[in-house]
Structure 1
Amino acid sequence: MHAASVLMRKVLVLNDMVEYQMRRVMGTNETDFQAMQHLMAKGPMTPSQLADALHITTAAVTTVVDRLVRADHARRVPHPLDRRSTMVEPTTHAADLTMSKLMPMIQQTDQLVRDMQPDQQEAVVAYLGGVIQAMEQHIVELAGEQPVVPQLTGKG
């Protein structure tokens, strides 16, 4: 494999490690942290939207939201258009904590690319854009595949 591909794989592994440490710092489990990522990236969401984003049931997302509210990571607010519905949004506390922990790394990596010559920056952007395109295509392909069901042989 090309050195860039090996390094990209290492970035993905390190991202998992960063997320693990962020979950530890925030005192959340993986699902709750994923919920927070969606809320931080997309802003307020209905419980149904959050359930869809997490690929879990609306009943399960209620438990997730309850935990996030108890931990002061999220809060329920009235839906701006539907009085019968609520929205879930990250608290200022959670947003500040997340950004205080991640911003130094974000700024450091941003500075790396800013210190490059324009043609180098373009190459980085082209490569990363291609990685994103390949990953998105692969996600679509995997989504269309049937689940693998183990064959029972009757032998035991």
Structure 2
Amino acid sequence: MTASQHHPATLALQSLFTLANETEWEIARGMGLNLTDFRALSVLGLSGPVTVGKLAEELGATPATTTAIVSRLESRGYVARRRSTDDRRQVQVNATATSFTRIMSLMLPLMTATNEHLRALPAADQRVVTDFLDAAQRLMRDHLHALSEKDAR
């Protein structure tokens, strides 16, 4: 299939994915992290406190590798380990306020510009954009799941 056979929005979305990957790399670099460590930090930022084992599952890494990632992030002040209040044998890992502040300092200009652009649109258009992005997320999540299932076979 050639580019001309795809809807312009599909092509724009593909370009956005590429830019998002490049932006992720630059944010990681700006924080002094490699991409794997930054992705772990991103998972923690979205999921809240989790065990190293659960984080390893999310990353598709071994617990030993994930422990090393957590140690590197902890040494930079980006994550903290805390004993679980439910089970004192279990250690939870969570992103710190420092990591949130640092990520926001790097992302805020883009978030502000995007917010201003969206708010300038009529309310009906804002809903269309939001609905499209929600659908794109679902499609991407489904595709990712299908790819993961294929790899597992």
Normalising by the residue count of structure 2, what TM-score does the alignment of the two structures yield? Answer: 0.89
Which of 75, 83, 87 is the aligned partner of 2:88? 83
Q: Distance in 1 between the 2:57 and 2:152 partners?
A: 19
Q: Identity of counterpart residues, as a percentage?
A: 28
Gaps in structure 1 of 5+ consecutive residues: 149-156
In structure 2, relative to structure 1, the CA distance for the partners of 1:58 and 1:147 (3 Å cut) is closer
- Residue in 2 aligned with 1:154? none
Please name the residue that 2:3 is paired with. Answer: none
Residue 122 (structure 1) shift: 2.1
Residue 106 (structure 2) pairs with residue 101 (structure 1): yes
Residue among 116, 128, 142 paired with 1:137: 142
How many correspondences in the alignment? 148
Instruction: Please tell me the root mean square deviation across aligned C-alpha atoms, in Å.
Output: 1.6
Give the aligned residue type for 2:98: H
Q: Point out the structure with the larger helix share.
A: 2
Q: Is the radius of gyration larger for structure 1 or structure 2?
A: 1
Instruction: Quote the Cα distance in structure 2 between the aligned partners of 1:136 and 1:96.
Output: 27
Cα 1:91–1:122, aligned 2, differ >3 Å: closer, same or farther? closer
Number of the residue aligned with 2:129: 124
Distance 1:42 1:140 in 2: 18
Whichever residue aligns with residue 74 of structure 2, its letter is V
Instruction: List runs of 5+ in structure 2 lacking aligned partners.
Output: 1-5
Show the counterpart of 1:60: 65
Classify the secondary structure of the residue corresponding to 1:49: helix
CA separation of 1:94/1:129 partners in 2, compared to 1, >3 Å: closer, same or farther? closer
Partner-residue secondary structure (3-state), 1:145: helix
**Structure 2 counterpart of 1:65, one-letter code:** V
Is 2:16 the partner of 1:11? yes
The equivalent of 2:30 in structure 1 is: 25
Distance (Å, rounded) in 2 between the aligned partners of 1:90 and 1:136: 23
